[in-house]
């Protein structure tokens, strides 16, 4: 060593080196080097009811062919249309295969400024039931964007809507809530957001500047569920709490009339496999299988792989922009849990089925 000169530490240099690259994030598609067992589940181990899907633009015959390949017994179409268009869609699927398709209606907010809006909605509700609706869905616009005649933001727990939920209880009609969205959607769309690419593709999905935060929205929804213990509620997408299973557990413990579906939440559940598996085992009677993705053979098979196998680090079913740069792990659920999640829990909400 030359006197007065500090020697370079090669190890320090190695572990402290950083890089600036010109590769666009959208062009970065790494292939995993892991060599782990892969198990393709071509058909679910037990018959499946997909309780959460959107088939409005599809041909029932095409969907049936996919269902037959994968062991899907029934799909519940949540129509995103209202009025006569919605009724026509319900009729089209029910007439194509009444034993394979069911329908959940979409809450129609047209006329919300009218003083008779609640009665108008009750009339619409009964009309949908006449066309075979087995539920009604309230979307995230309630609480986030919808306003009343005075221009005030409509709260989810607005007591003016109490008769709607009471009527659903009397009719035995489940109410589905898609309230709020993934937590990342309420954060700035920047370099720290783990779902940056998805939100960059869909900037209108971001609610960082919303006047109401996510937890407040969920608490509004939960007050409605607590007020109506005789009505069955379904929290779509793990009741929008898949990133925090401890909080989701608290909600299920406090609200015995709340069920959840897992649609579009394998990305969240599958990256926390230890916690997710324990959650499924504990709440096996409260979890419904759903996908929220256009029916495709490979999509269903990825869902089955997630639920049935112990495979490690594989792609989750998603839409084109994906939901985050991670992969998932299988939960290898026991048969008694699979039977409930795949079919039995949904059957309780579809009383016309045997």
**pLDDT tens-digit profile of 168-191?**
999 999 999 999 999 999 999 999
- Tell me what pLDDT residue 166 has: 98
Share of the chain above pLDDT 70, in %: 97
Rounded-to-integer distance, Cα 62 and Cα 67, Å: 9
- Tell me what pLDDT residue 4 has: 60
Q: What is the pLDDT of residues 268-308, one digit of tens each?
A: 999 999 999 999 999 999 999 999 999 999 999 999 999 99
- Tell me what pLDDT residue 354 has: 41
Query: Over the chain, what HEC string results?
Result: CCCCCCCCCHHHHHHHCCCCCCCCHHHCCCCCCCCCCCCCCCCCCCCEEEEEECCCCCCHHHHHHHHHHHCEEEEEEECCCCHHHHHHHHHHHHHHCCCCEEEEEECCCCCCCCCCHHHHHHHHHHHHHHCCEEEEEECCHHHHCCECCCCCECCCCCHHHHHHHHHHHHHCCCEEECCCCCHHHHCCCCCCCCCHHHHHHCHHHCCCCCCCCHHHHHHHHHHHHHHCCCCCEEEHHHHCCCCCHHHHHHHHHHCCCEEEECCCCHHHHCCCHHHHHHHHHHCCCCEECCCCCCCCHHHHHHHHHHHHCCCCCECCCCCCCCCCCCCECCCCCCHHHHHHHHHHHHHCCCCCCC
Average pLDDT over residues 95-110: 97
**Which residue carries 């039977």 as its tokens?**
339
Please give the residue that has the higher pLDDT: either 3 or 232: 232
Average pLDDT over residues 13-31: 90
β-pair partners for 106: 137
Tell me, rounded to whole angstroms, the distance of Cα 145 from its chain centroid. 20
Would you say residue 17 has pLDDT above 60?
A: yes
Rounded-to-integer distance, Cα 324 and Cα 332, Å: 23
Mean pLDDT (the chain, rounded)? 95
Stretch among 18-22, 37-41, 123-127, 341-345 having the lowest mean pLDDT:
18-22
Share of the chain above pLDDT 90, in %: 92
- Tell me what pLDDT residue 321 has: 86
Neighbour-count burial of 344, counting CB atoms closer than 10 A to its CB (0-12 exposed, 13-18 middle, 19+ buried): middle
Rounded-to-integer distance, Cα 229 and Cα 127, Å: 25
- Contact assessment for residue 238 and residue 264, using Cβ atoms and an 8 Å cutoff: no
Rounded-to-integer distance, Cα 338 and Cα 331, Å: 11
Q: How far is CA 348 from CA 71, 138, 285, in A?
A: 20, 20, 10
- 286-314 burial code (b ≥16 CB/10 A, e <16): bbbbbbbbebeeebbbbbbbbbbbebeeb
Stretch among 2-11, 117-126, 163-172, 201-210 having the lowest mean pLDDT:
2-11
- Tell me what pLDDT residue 7 has: 72
- Tell me what pLDDT residue 265 has: 98
């Amino acid at each position: 060593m030359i006197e007065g000169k500090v020697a370079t530490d090669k190890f320090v240099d190695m572990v402290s080196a950083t890089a600036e690259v010109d590769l666009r994030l959208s062009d970065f598609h790494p292939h995993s080097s892991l060599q782990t067992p892969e198990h393709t589940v071509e058909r679910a181990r037990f018959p499946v009811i997909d309780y959460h899907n959107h088939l409005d633009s599809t041909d029932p015959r095409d969907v049936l062919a996919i269902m037959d390949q994968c062991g899907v017994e029934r799909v519940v179409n949540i129509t995103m249309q209202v009025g006569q268009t919605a009724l026509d869609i319900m009729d089209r699927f029910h007439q194509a295969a009444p034993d394979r398709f069911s329908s959940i209606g979409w809450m129609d907010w047209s006329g919300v400024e009218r003083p008779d809006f609640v009665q108008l909605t009750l009339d619409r509700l009964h009309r949908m039931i006449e066309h075979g609706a087995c539920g009604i869905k309230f979307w995230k616009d309630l609480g986030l964007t919808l306003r009343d005649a005075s221009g005030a933001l409509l709260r989810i727990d607005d007591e003016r809507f109490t008769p709607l939920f009471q009527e659903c209880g009397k009719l035995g009609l489940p109410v589905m809530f898609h309230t709020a969205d993934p937590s990342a959607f309420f954060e700035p769309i920047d370099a720290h957001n783990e779902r940056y690419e998805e939100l960059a593709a869909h900037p209108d999905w971001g609610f960082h500047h919303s006047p109401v935060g996510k937890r407040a929205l969920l608490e509004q929804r939960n007050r409605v569920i607590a007020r109506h213990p005789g009505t069955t509620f379904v929290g779509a997408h793990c009741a929008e709490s898949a990133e925090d299973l401890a909080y989701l557990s608290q909600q299920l413990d406090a609200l015995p009339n709340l069920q959840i579906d897992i649609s579009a939440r394998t990305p969240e559940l599958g990256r926390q496999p230890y916690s997710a598996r324990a959650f499924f085992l504990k709440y096996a009677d409260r979890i419904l299988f759903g996908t929220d993705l256009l029916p495709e053979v490979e999509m269903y098979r990825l869902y089955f792989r997630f639920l049935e196998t112990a495979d490690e680090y594989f792609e989750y079913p998603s839409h084109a922009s994906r939901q985050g740069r991670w992969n998932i792990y299988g939960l290898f659920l026991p048969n008694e849990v699979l039977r409930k999640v795949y079919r039995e829990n949904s059957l309780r909400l579809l009383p016309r089925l045997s």
